[in-house]
Amino acid sequence: MIEIKAALNRAVHLGPMADLRITPLADADADAALVLARLDDPSIAAEAWRRDILSRADETIMVARRGSGPLIGLARYRLEKTSAARTVFHLVQLIAVDMLRPASVATALMNEMLWRAREHRCTSFRVETALPQGAEPMALALAAGVCRLHSLF
């Protein structure tokens, strides 16, 4: 069971041996976060990464680590206003790394993202993904959760 406390820097309990902390990215962790980001996109240049994250006015980066250990997760998000003055939570990237249980790290980060979306009173949650090559149109729509099929018979 995953327990998330209501403080800004919450501790997530994933079991008796693993305390996971999710906190905003500190400038001192920029290079460690780059290593995680490159798992998703190896072409990211170090100079561009540092410049972008140091000037991240419209984007927040959260990182996960066990205790004082290395970073094992990263989530980037933006809050966007719609023309109807609603707030949309836009998850740009989520990366989880663990020798045995990366899904537990990803789950903790997703729980944190959902908590933050609710705290900001967002009306919707958007996930950004690359357009797969040769994807079946209906499979893509169903996987994205934007299509629901209803049969009358």
**Could you tell me the domains of the chain?**
3-144 (3.40.630.30)
> How do residues 53-87 score in pLDDT, each as one tens digit?
777 778 899 999 998 899 999 999 999 888 888 89
- What is the overall mean pLDDT for the chain? 80
No. of H helices and E strands in the chain? 4, 7
Tokens (6 digits) for 43:
């072409």
Grade residue 4 by pLDDT with cuts at 50, 70 and 90: very low
Contacts 24+ apart (CB under 8 A), 73-81: 73/20, 73/22, 73/36, 73/97, 73/105, 73/106, 73/108, 73/109, 74/25, 74/33, 74/36, 74/37, 74/109, 75/109, 75/110, 75/112, 75/113, 77/113, 77/116, 79/120, 79/122, 80/126
> How do residues 105-126 score in pLDDT, each as one tens digit?
999 999 999 999 999 999 888 8
Which of 84-88, 125-129, 138-142: highest mean pLDDT?
84-88
The confidence score (pLDDT) of residue 153 equals 67
The confidence score (pLDDT) of residue 145 equals 66
| 140 or 31, which is more confident | 31
pTM flag (> 0.95): no
The confidence score (pLDDT) of residue 105 equals 92
